[in-house]
Structure 1
Amino acid sequence: MNDGTLYGVGLGPGDPELVTVKAARLIGAADVVAYHCARHGRSVARSIAEPYLRGDQVEEQLVYPVTTEVTDHPGGYEGAMEEFYEAAAARLIAHLSAGRDVVLLAEGDPLFYSSYMHMHKRISGRFATVIVPGVTSVSAASAALAMPLVEGDDVLTVLPGTLGREQLADRLRGTGAAAIMKISRGYADVRAALKDCGRLDQAYYVERASGGRRQVIERAGDVDPAAVPYMSLVIIAGAEAAGHPVPASPGPDGERDTGPGRVDVVGLGPGGRDWLTPQAAAALAAADDLVGYAPYVDRVPPNPRQRRHGSDNRVEAQRAEFALDLALRGRRVAVVSSGDPGVFAMASVVLEAAAADSRFAGIPVAVVPGITAAQAVAALAGAPLGHDYVTLSLSDRLKPWAVIARRLAAAAAGDFAIAIYNPASRSRRQQLADARALLLTHRDAATPVVVGRAVGTDDQQVTVTTLRELDPAQVDMSCLVIVGSSQSRVVRDSSGAARVITPRRYPG
């Protein structure tokens, strides 16, 4: 009986469509498919290869005994891993000795910072071994940026982010183009090293360069070290390659515009496409890049021509500067906001960033309005905002609670209807209760209150209650609350449903 063959199969950077034809063929034909994973059992490599599995193959799950946690192994981390690799190799050797071909999956390329190499060293001297190269994350990140890494005499250096701040800075000073891998656990040191050597402004952070989940591309200096996952890296282009601008969007005649691009701050409305204005749809369709809070970017239907840059909700200023910087390089950028961009959203942030930096003086910035959450909830409830009203946010992340309470008291004393944004979150549970107590000192307990949840989605729910019966525990960040004035009242339509009306006439 002939021995089996070990295939080290590179899967590329995450997109199953970037798996090579040869890799897909071998995965489908293998007797045994092996892959590494952490103790939670989920394997990125297997998820990439899943479309090519037959379903009846033997799967060898090689579970790491330790990743970042402390181990009680007598040999420490190194001893635990050495023991693991020996045991894993023995499991694969058993299959090979029985004549079964084994495909060992590797993210990226098998011989490029891959766990496959530990198996290769232990097995290749005894059994036939075939390496199937894969697209590396460095190539995928360069493609995601649409930016060449090297040209002419540029030199590319690949560095592990685990080197430490001082050594990393020294290496970066002595090279041109660079790709920094393994940054997730030490990004604070990576960012500090980039700053130390004067290269922070040249560096781009790329997360999930080609994975199925949303892609993130940011300036390296704008990234929160606490939010950096495993599948991420930093890219710096070489001097010659960096001399080429990012391709700009085509003009109406198909020619490329080499001048500054533009930024449109676009309101998506509170829900589905039915609440998107034609002007907003046109701005989204014309964009080269979409920038915004990741769940809002995800609401825009994918267009393969466009690049999507989703980010965390706590980096608004960095997001605005990133969008303006893209426009500076000739891109047409749509910065997306839920609802209306001028209501507790990105319009003021982008305009403020544009005014603060002379580099952006020549970039056109337009604000494209959208239907607000207050308008949507009011329409579904009837007409609770039919007279003068105040729009107010209960979030104290950007302003102190004392200011919120003072404004709320003034609105209540003025007998305005009040649309309350950001009424509660997982970490902010007391503010709405305090607001309700304050309002009860000015309003009758029977004042109508509307709670709109997830309006415009399949989970939409609109509840009509009273100030007395309002339960803050049932309200979260997916809700908007409207509190009526002294004149607001509830009527019933032909179906018996409650409709809230604030009359246009005021007594006296």
Structure 2
Amino acid sequence: MPTGRLYGVGLGPGDPSLLTVRAVEVIASADVVAYHSARHGRSIARSIAERHLRPGQIEEPLVYPVTTETTDHPGGYRGALEEFYEEASARLAAHLDAGRVVAVLAEGDPFFYSSYQHMHKRLAHRYPTEVVPGVTSFSAASARLGRPLVEGEETLTILPGTLPEEELTARLAQADSAVVMKLGRTFPAVRGALERSGRLAEARYVERATMSGERTGPVADIDPESVPYFSVAVLPSRVAALPDRPEETGRGEVVVVGLGPAGPLWLTPEARGALAAAEDVVGYTTYVDRVPVRPGQRRHGSDNKVESERAEFALDLARQGHRVAVVSSGDPGVFAMASAVLEVAAEDPYREVPVRVVPGITAAHAAAARAGAPLGHDYAVVSLSDRLKPWEVIAERLRAAVAADLVLALYNPGSRSRLWQVGAARDLLLEHRAPDTPVVVARDVGGPEERVRIVSLGELDPAEVDMRTLLIVGSTQTRTARRGEDGAERIVWTPRRYPEG
């Protein structure tokens, strides 16, 4: 006897008129129609498809043993559901073995957070199977809000509200647009994550989209006690925000954002979110060019030697109500724009302008990670640039750090106009450190011209060092080793345990 055929049928978000033609054809022609329901027996899936059911069809209600309540099953909640899915798939398999066509109904789309997937995983490899896609709930929510989800180069993030609040906060902070599913009891945590990520004002709530009892509104206005499972939170497209429905921008602010040492892989979720929320991006032109272009966002690049003027410009924009991101490479608090902005913000007329600093991965930490763990113990960070402090001060600090046997991370070691500092620093260090002291020479870490080498202090060649290079000079305890079958990989580390005196 030939086997039957399995269909996973997407029913759309709830309005029966949103079923696809293919879904209607399959439902009407199936020998068996299966649908999930809670123990009260009512099935939303069946109610959506009801007008297309016909006399003589076999109905298979797949009744969950638990939904959100506790259970005394020895395997707990998950164990109870696994046993249910096995039993339910066995019931459907009996129909398929008898040659019947089985349609399993699924709200929304069968492959989007759907119970049908549990049947598919157990049966699709054994029987001919077709999945009929359906209109998803988040598509319906977007339509009911009248707000596009994504436009241009934006990306859409879909999250279950059951994630921990910290994880939700991180994901929402970096998202362009987002949809949070499975609200109900998770709503307080979802609302908290939206607030902590700075996205609450733009978040919209949709309950039972396209169904009776539909409700929409700002998430901030929703009573947590009134939220059912069939609801979503939506962060619509920022690009597509309609001019006659402006978002409330509130007070202006300046956010000083660390971009990390290179491209997008080095950006933190918080930094991504701050850049996405900014109306104006201010910074050294090279760094501004690293920020993704967003329609409607204004960009203000300037020379690298006008930090105070750049800070005043950003703070003036914020006083006018703008959300401003001042960008720096690496971490903005390490030889970068955070101190320049705060210095100006501490004076009138900028004392009342909100200023936040969003950290980034530092160049020193990025270079250290590429080489191994040379910063594994105490270390000092020193800039070799004498543009803002005299060389005598730099030399004094180098001697103090060497005397304390600290690892040294040396920023701004050289440029086309400063060719002698690296050699002078090397010679000074050699007065106190052995010539075989390991030195990490890291250039353009994370960029297309990345090159990281480990040389000895005595072999350090100033001609190989420029402004895109960072140096890490080991302490007396820093070690190197060869790894791999052929010893081609060389690593460097500084032990965390320091020898007793």
Partner of 1:329: 320
Work out whether residues 423 and 479 of structure 1, in 8 Å CA contact, stay in contact via their aligned partners in 2: yes
Aligned equivalent of 1:270, options 253, 256, 261: 261
1:256 offset after TM fit, Å? 4.8
Partner of 2:300: 309
Percent identity, aligned pairs only, is 64
1:257 offset after TM fit, Å? 4.3
Encode CA deviations 1:400-431: one digit per residue, 9 max, x unaligned: 11100000010011100000000000011111
Match of 1:360, SS state, is coil
Which one-letter code corresponds to 2:337 in the other structure? M
Establish whether residue 399 from structure 1 lines up as the match of residue 389 from structure 2.
Answer: yes
Following superposition of structure 1 onto structure 2, how do residues 289-438 of structure 1 map, counting pairs within 5 Å?
289-357=280-348, 359-438=349-428
Work out whether residues 389 and 418 of structure 1, in 8 Å CA contact, stay in contact via their aligned partners in 2: yes
Partner of 2:498: 506
1:494 offset after TM fit, Å? 2.0
Partner of 1:279: 270
C-alpha separation in 1, matches of 2:401 and 2:437:
15
Which one-letter code corresponds to 1:345 in the other structure? A
C-alpha separation in 2, matches of 1:262 and 1:492:
50
Partner of 2:469: 479
C-alpha separation in 1, matches of 2:350 and 2:246:
23
1:361 offset after TM fit, Å? 2.2
Match of 2:251, SS state, is coil
Match of 1:377, SS state, is helix
Aligned length: 259
Which one-letter code corresponds to 2:329 in the other structure? S
Distance change in 2, residues 1:488/1:250 (3 Å): closer
Partner of 1:447: 437
Which one-letter code corresponds to 2:478 in the other structure? S
Partner of 2:147: none
1:380 offset after TM fit, Å? 0.2
1:492 offset after TM fit, Å? 1.6
Match of 1:487, SS state, is coil
Establish whether residue 470 from structure 1 lines up as the match of residue 456 from structure 2.
Answer: no
1:363 offset after TM fit, Å? 1.4
Partner of 1:66: none
C-alpha separation in 1, matches of 2:490 and 2:498:
22
Work out whether residues 288 and 307 of structure 1, in 8 Å CA contact, stay in contact via their aligned partners in 2: yes
Encode CA deviations 1:112-171: one digit per residue, 9 max, x unaligned: xxxxxxxxxxxxxxxxxxxxxxxxxxxxxxxxxxxxxxxxxxxxxxxxxxxxxxxxxxxx
Match of 2:265, SS state, is helix
1:294 offset after TM fit, Å? 0.2
Which one-letter code corresponds to 1:306 in the other structure? Q
Distance change in 2, residues 1:258/1:374 (3 Å): closer
Match of 1:263, SS state, is strand
1:272 offset after TM fit, Å? 1.3
Partner of 1:123: none
C-alpha separation in 2, matches of 1:317 and 1:257:
30
Match of 1:426, SS state, is coil
Encode CA deviations 1:363-413: one digit per residue, 9 max, x unaligned: 110000000000000000000110000000000101111100000010011
1:493 offset after TM fit, Å? 2.2
Work out whether residues 395 and 424 of structure 1, in 8 Å CA contact, stay in contact via their aligned partners in 2: yes
TM-score normalised according to structure 1 size:
0.50
Match of 1:379, SS state, is helix
Match of 2:346, SS state, is helix
Distance change in 2, residues 1:295/1:250 (3 Å): farther
C-alpha separation in 2, matches of 1:429 and 1:266:
31
Following superposition of structure 1 onto structure 2, how do residues 217-232 of structure 1 map, counting pairs within 5 Å?
none
Match of 1:468, SS state, is helix
Which one-letter code corresponds to 2:297 in the other structure? Q
Encode CA deviations 1:433-481: one digit per residue, 9 max, x unaligned: 1100000011000000000000111110001100010001110001000
1:251 offset after TM fit, Å? 5.3
Match of 1:343, SS state, is coil
Match of 2:459, SS state, is coil
Which one-letter code corresponds to 1:419 in the other structure? A
Which one-letter code corresponds to 2:421 in the other structure? Q
Partner of 2:136: none
Distance change in 2, residues 1:466/1:258 (3 Å): closer
1:255 offset after TM fit, Å? 4.0
Structure 2: which 5+ runs fail to align? 1-198, 203-217, 219-244
Which one-letter code corresponds to 2:307 in the other structure? E
Which one-letter code corresponds to 1:441 in the other structure? E
TM-score normalised according to structure 2 size:
0.51
1:258 offset after TM fit, Å? 6.9
Match of 2:254, SS state, is strand
Work out whether residues 250 and 257 of structure 1, in 8 Å CA contact, stay in contact via their aligned partners in 2: no
Which one-letter code corresponds to 1:506 in the other structure? Y
C-alpha separation in 2, matches of 1:259 and 1:274:
31
1:356 offset after TM fit, Å? 1.3
1:304 offset after TM fit, Å? 1.4
